[in-house]
Amino acid sequence: MLGLDLGTTFSTAALVVNGKFHYAVDERGEACIPSVVHFPRSGPPIVGTEADRLRVIDPENTVWAIKRVIGRGLDTPQVRRLQAGAVFKLVGRGTDEVMVRTRSGDHSASEVASILLRDMRERAQHRFGRTISKAVVTVPVLAPTAVRTNMVKLGRMAGLEVLRVISEPVAGALARGIAGAGDTGEPRLIFDFGGGTLDIAVVQHVEDRVKVLAASGDDSLGGDDFDTAFARFIASHVWGHHQFDVTKDVILSDTIHRTCEKVKRALSASPSARYFIPEALGVRGRKWDIELVVTREMMSSVWEELISRAVQVTRETLDASGVDPARLSVVSLIGGTTFVPQVREAVARAFGRPLDVEADPQTAVARGASFLGAFPLLVR
Ligand SMILES: Nc1ncnc2c1ncn2[C@@H]1O[C@H](COP(=O)(O)OP(=O)(O)OP(=O)(O)O)[C@@H](O)[C@H]1O
Ligand SMILES: [Mg+2]
Output the 3-class SS for 117-161.
Answer: HHHHHHHHHHHHCCCCCEEEEEECCCCCHHHHHHHHHHHHHCCCE
Q: Where are the domains of the chain?
A: 2-65+114-167, 181-357
Instruction: Give the number of other Cβ atoms within 10 Å of residue 211's Cβ.
Output: 13
| Ligand 1 and 180: CB distance under 6 A | no
Terminal CA-CA length for the chain: 21
The kind and range of the H/E element at 47 are strand 46-47
- Over residues 225-276, the pLDDT tens digits come to 999 999 999 999 999 999 999 998 888 988 999 999 999 999 999 999 999 9
- pLDDT value, residue 181: 47
Mean pLDDT of the chain: 94
Q: How far is CA 120 from CA 14, 171, 258, 300, in A?
A: 10, 18, 24, 36
Residue 85 is predicted with a pLDDT of 84
Residue 232 Rama label (left phi>0; alpha psi -120 to 50; beta): alpha
> Residue with the nearest Cα to atom 21 of ligand 1?
7
Residues 107-146: pLDDT tens digits?
A: 999 999 999 999 999 999 999 999 999 999 999 999 988 8
Q: Once rounded to an integer, what is the mean pLDDT over residues 333-359? A: 96
**Given this model, what pLDDT does residue 179 score?**
62
The residue whose CA has the least distance to atom 1 of ligand 1 is: 265
Task: Kindly report the protein residue whose alpha carbon is nearest to atom 10 of ligand 1.
Answer: 336
Whether ligand 1 lies within 6 angstroms of the CB of 10 is answered as yes
CA 242 to ligand 1 center in whole angstroms:
32
Q: Are 364 and 188 in contact (CB under 8 A)?
A: no
> Is the CB of 195 within 6 Å of ligand 1?
yes
Phi, psi dihedral angles at 95 (to 5 degrees): -90, 5
* pLDDT for residue 176: 87
Same fold, 2-65+114-167 and 181-357: no
What's the pTM?
Answer: 0.95
> How much distance in Å is there from the Cα of 93 to the middle of ligand 1?
32
Query: Over the stretch 172-203, which tens digit does the pLDDT of each residue have?
Result: 999 988 765 456 688 999 999 999 999 999 99
Convert the pLDDT of each residue in 36-83 to its tens digit: 999 999 999 999 999 999 998 899 999 999 999 999 999 999 999 999
Least distant ligand from the CA of 227: 1
Angle between helices 250-269 and 49-57 (to 10 degrees): 140
**pLDDT value at position 173?**
94
* Range 181-357 classified under CATH 3.40.190.10: no
Q: Is the pLDDT of residue 359 over 90?
A: no
Q: Which of 264, 296, 307, 343 to mutate to test the pocket of ligand 1 (most atoms within 8 A of CB)?
A: 264
Q: What is the pLDDT of residue 312?
A: 98
CATH code linked to domain 2-65+114-167: 3.30.420.40
CA–CA separation, 3 and 76 (whole Å): 30
